Amino acid sequence: MSMNELIIILAIGMAAGFLSGSMGVGGGVIIVPALIFFMGFSLHQAQGTSLALMTIPVMIVAASNFYKEGFIEIKVALLLAVTFVVGGYIGSKFSIMMPEKIMKKAFGVFMLFVALKMIFSK
């Protein structure tokens, strides 16, 4: 893993943790698209890796299926898990300080951006 890849992975984990803590989104909305767009992962690799970072206890069965097929990048999942926790803490503090009306609009804009990016990218 190169230094550039490490920085990207840590940034993805932090962003996913922050947005999970502040808006209740993370794996499917942040990590999966980010691994595809910024790391060049296939959809299966991104899904498997995202599930692996949240394995215990919720996703262990689903993640094990991806693991059996070779679609989990263990190092990436572990790095994302650590930064996800830190980002989640910071994001939750941020969200508490923001008025709900602003957070609702920010969430809507963010989800629209992700949806459009997924629809119109190759």
Q: What is the number of structural domains in the chain?
A: 1
Enter the pTM of the model.
0.65
Cα–Cα separations (whole angstroms), residue 119 to 70, 92, 105, 115: 27, 29, 21, 6
Angle between helices 74-97 and 43-53 (to 10 degrees): 70
Check residue 58 and give its pLDDT: 54
Give the pLDDT score at 38: 95
Amino acid at 114: V
pLDDT at 10: 93
State phi, psi for 98 to the nearest 5 degrees: -90, 140
pLDDT at res. 27? 67
In whole angstroms, give the CA distance from residue 30 to residue 22: 13
Q: How far apart (Å, rounded) are the C-alpha atoms in residues 95 and 81?
A: 20
Per-residue pLDDT of the chain (122 residues; tens, 9 = 90+): 899 999 999 999 888 888 877 776 776 788 888 998 999 998 888 888 887 787 565 567 767 888 899 998 999 988 998 998 898 889 888 878 888 788 778 877 887 998 898 899 87
Q: What is the pLDDT of residue 120?
A: 92
Whole-number Å distance between alpha carbons of 13 and 80: 4
* Cα gap 48→53, rounded to integer Å: 9
pLDDT of residue 23: 72
Domain that holds residue 105: 3-120
